[in-house]
Each structure stands twice: as C-alpha cells, then as structure tokens.
Amino acid sequence: MEHTEMSTNTADESHTDRGDTQRLVGSDRVLAVLKELARHPDGVGLEEMTRAIGAPKPTVHRALGALRRSGLADQDGRGRYLLGDEFLRMAFTHHEARPEHKRIAPLLNTLADRFGETAHYAVLDGREVVYRAKVDPPSGAVRLTSTVGGRNPAHSTAVGKLLLAHRLCTPEAVREWVGIDPLPRRTARTRCTADELHQEFKLIRELGYAVDDQENETGVNCLALPVYTAAPGVPTGAVSVSAVAYRTPLSTLTDAFQDIRDLLGVLGTARP
C-alpha cells in the first residue's frame, strides 16, 4: 500500500535568520552557505544561493569552493550545489554514536512496534524542541513526516511541555518565559497564555507525563515521558509516542503510561 504522509509542521524555516547572513564574514559566511545547502536536497544554483545568502556572487562562489574541497559540498551534473557525501558521513556517524541515541533507540523501536505509531526522542532548545531520534511504525497507511533535527514550538508539543514543566515551576517563571510576544496558536486547542501553561505544567508534574491533544497539529495526538540520562533532578530529554488520532486515541496512550515508564526504568533512563 502506498504510504500517505502527514506533516508535523516542523519549524525549521523560522529557526534561521537569513537576514543575519548579510553581516557575516569569513568562516561565518562559509557556515551560512553550508546551512543553506541543507535546505535544498535537490540542489541549488549559484544565483539562487547568492540571493538567499545576500552576499556578492564571488564571495558565495569562494565559500562553495572551500566546502567542495573539504568534501562538505558537491556539484551535480546540472551544476547545482548540494551537501557532499563527507558531510552526510560525519553527520550520520556522529548521530549513531551518541550515547543517548544508543540508549534510547531500543525503547523507540519497542514503542513504534507496540503502538504502530511514531516514537520520538527530543530535547529542549529555548522555545523549541529538537527531535534527536525517530522510529516509524513497521506498517501503516499514514506516517508522520517529522525528521531528526526538525523543530517544533515547545508550548504546543507534549515533549516540549513536559520539559518546560520541570524548568518553569512558578507562575513568575512561566510568565518570564512566555514574555510579551504572543506564542503561536498552532490549532484551536493550543494553550498560549502564561496562566494556561502554568496550570498544565502543575498537572504534568503531578502525573509524570504530558500530552498533546491535537494542540500542535489537528489529527495528531501525543504522550511524552521524561528521560534522565545525566543527573536525576531535571530531565535531559523526553520520549514520545505521536499518533494519528483516528487510529490511536489519546486514551490508549495515557492508559499505557505505566508500561512505558517501566520500559524507561529497564533502560536506566527513568527517574530513580
């Protein structure tokens, strides 16, 4: 059966401030070109790259030349630039060798197999979460298109709310984190005010898990539990099961909370 993908609306586009590249010089500009290449898996021409970076064409061309000499960029038969095999080798080797990845991978495989849904491991990065690992279900007509390295707003995701709940323990801390700029309302169910989030964070600390009841994307719900790979005081990350709502109701996930927590305990990543 052909798989139909469902987007998780990762916020990668908003994470890079392209206007800042106009002020970059030297090695910083080379890195800006490298990051822009990652946005174009099918390749990008010099003219398009120059417009995106906002730098003179000779400067961008020199940066691309430096990246090609190091194997971090390549050029296809059409003359378009793309990430080189050496960059991909380094990235995947580093990712697979991370201690946290080795410890979490068996759990994610187990969760994806049990629920027939996507399992993630994510960490908090400011106002966003970053997905460090992902395992898709072995079968199913609908799969999520989240990616390793992808981002989502912390306040609208189960993993993000869980990690924030352990860092923002007072109303004042929540208000300071929310700030004066309104948080994006991803769906009609997204909680965006400091008071709403503070109340939910209190409940998360009491329950030991967090949920996303179609708050980040309509039709997708999620259960998240904390992971402790360092000190037991504050979670270093969170594991989650992200499910298509019509296929796996949120109640199915919450009913399995203790079983998932027991699996974390076996791996030595649950709170002692």
What's phi and psi for 224, nearest 5 deg?
-130, 140
Residue 7 is assigned to a structural domain of this protein: no
* 77 pLDDT above the threshold of 60: yes
Average pLDDT over residues 256-268: 83
Do 229 and 121 lie in a common domain? yes
Q: How far apart are CA 105 and CA 236, in angstroms?
A: 15
Confidence of residue 239 (pLDDT cuts 50, 70, 90): very high
* 217 pLDDT above the threshold of 50: yes
Do 87 and 19 lie in a common domain? yes
Do 233 and 129 lie in a common domain? yes
Per-residue model confidence as pLDDT tens digits over 33-58: 888 888 888 888 999 989 988 888 89
| Residue that the structure tokens 């860092």 belong to | 167
Q: How far is CA 168 from CA 32, 65, 215, 231, in A?
A: 33, 46, 20, 18
Q: How far apart are CA 212 and CA 243, in angstroms?
A: 10
Residue 4 is assigned to a structural domain of this protein: no
In the prediction, which pLDDT does 269 show? 55
Question: Is the distance from CB of 136 to CB of 8 less than 8 angstroms?
Answer: no
Do 117 and 35 lie in a common domain? no
Q: Which among 92, 121, 151 is the end of a domain? A: 92
Q: How far apart are CA 88 and CA 85, in angstroms?
A: 5
Residue 3 is assigned to a structural domain of this protein: no
Residue 5 is assigned to a structural domain of this protein: no
* 231 pLDDT above the threshold of 70: no
Do 122 and 171 lie in a common domain? yes
In the prediction, which pLDDT does 254 show? 96
The enclosing H or E element of 129 equals: strand 128-135
Do 142 and 224 lie in a common domain? yes
Q: Which among 61, 92, 123 is the end of a domain? A: 92
Q: Nearest 5 degrees, angle CA 6-CA 9-CA 10?
A: 125
In the prediction, which pLDDT does 138 show? 80
Least confident of 144-153, 194-203, 218-227: 144-153
In the prediction, which pLDDT does 15 show? 40
Average pLDDT over residues 3-7: 43
Do 133 and 171 lie in a common domain? yes
Name the packing angle between helices 57-69 and 27-37 (round to 10°): 80
Average pLDDT over residues 207-230: 93
Q: How many percent of the chain have pLDDT more than 70? A: 81
Which CATH number does the domain housing residue 57 bear? 1.10.10.10
Residue 152 is assigned to a structural domain of this protein: yes
The enclosing H or E element of 243 equals: strand 237-244
In the prediction, which pLDDT does 166 show? 95
Residue 126 is assigned to a structural domain of this protein: yes
Rg of the chain, C-alpha, whole Å: 20
Q: Which among 45, 74, 92 is the end of a domain? A: 92
Per-residue model confidence as pLDDT tens digits over 82-139: 888 887 777 666 656 665 656 788 899 999 999 999 999 999 999 999 998 899 988 7
Q: Across the chain, what does the average pLDDT equal?
A: 83
Residue 74 is assigned to a structural domain of this protein: yes
Q: Contacts from 18-25 at CB under 8 Å and sequence distance 24+?
A: 18/52, 18/53, 18/54, 19/54, 21/53, 21/54, 21/55, 22/54, 22/55, 24/55
In the prediction, which pLDDT does 93 show? 67
Joined together, the tokens standing for residue 199 give 């109340």
* 146 pLDDT above the threshold of 90: no
Find the domain containing 188 and state its range.
98-267
Q: How many domains does the chain have?
A: 2
Which CATH number does the domain housing residue 177 bear? 3.30.450.40
Per-residue model confidence as pLDDT tens digits over 166-178: 999 999 999 999 9
Do 62 and 120 lie in a common domain? no
Q: How far apart are CA 236 and CA 227, in angstroms?
A: 6
Q: How many percent of the chain have pLDDT more than 90? A: 47
Do 67 and 104 lie in a common domain? no
Residue 198 is assigned to a structural domain of this protein: yes
